[in-house]
């Protein structure tokens, strides 16, 4: 069960990256053709009639309209994944503790919980930090760098 949620969190991250790419694409098209910068909220509220008045060519209107449809679909799928993970994730004490950290919301706490697994499997704090790739693997002798260890050790996510 947890494994399935793990893939859901990964898929959500993938969809968020696609959403961002589409937003940037629309912002670039609008900036190039109107000279104005549009926020994400402004982009979401654009209608086809407004696009027709803002953009000179019909192909540009079609490009932005198709991106807006994709953005709407991505938003819906991201929301569905978030709701599914929230319903099915067993809220452990470590999850609840993560929520008390300033800057960590429900999505990040869910991601950390699913990516890390049981925190008790790490004997020390250093082992956990190393797993998260937060520990530098540089070898230093006499205040001089002598090489690096395995920099790809640990979990990339």
Give the residue among 123, 121, 113 at the shortest CA–CA distance from 93.
Answer: 113
Q: What confidence score (pLDDT) does residue 112 get? A: 83
Is residue 64 assigned to a domain? yes
H or E element at residue 139 = strand 138-141
Is residue 18 assigned to a domain? yes
Question: What digits encode the pLDDT tens for the residues 18-42?
Answer: 999 999 999 998 898 888 899 989 8
Is residue 123 assigned to a domain? no
Is residue 154 assigned to a domain? no
Q: Is the pLDDT of residue 141 over 80?
A: no
Question: What digits encode the pLDDT tens for the residues 88-103?
Answer: 887 778 788 888 989 9
pTM for the structure as a whole:
0.73
Question: What digits encode the pLDDT tens for the residues 102-127?
Answer: 998 888 888 888 877 777 888 888 88
**What is the residue range of 44's domain?**
2-88
Number of domains the chain contains:
1
Is residue 99 assigned to a domain? no
Residues belonging to the chain:
157
Q: How far is CA 114 from the centre of its chain?
A: 15
């Amino acid at each position: 069960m947890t494994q399935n949620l793990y893939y859901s969190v990964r898929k959500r991250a993938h969809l968020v990256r696609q959403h961002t790419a589409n937003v940037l694409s629309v912002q670039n098209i609008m900036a190039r053709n109107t000279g104005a910068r549009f926020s994400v909220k402004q982009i979401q509220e654009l209608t086809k009639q407004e696009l027709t008045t803002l953009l000179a060519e019909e192909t540009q209107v079609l490009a932005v309209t198709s991106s807006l449809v994709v953005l709407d679909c991505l938003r819906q799928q991201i929301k569905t994944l978030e709701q599914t993970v929230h319903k099915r994730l067993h809220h452990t004490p470590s999850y609840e503790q993560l929520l008390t950290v300033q800057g960590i919301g429900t999505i990040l706490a869910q991601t950390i919980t699913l990516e890390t697994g049981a925190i008790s499997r790490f004997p020390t704090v250093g082992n956990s930090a190393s797993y998260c790739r937060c520990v530098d693997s540089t070898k230093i002798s006499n205040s001089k760098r002598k090489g690096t260890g395995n920099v790809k050790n640990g979990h990339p996510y």
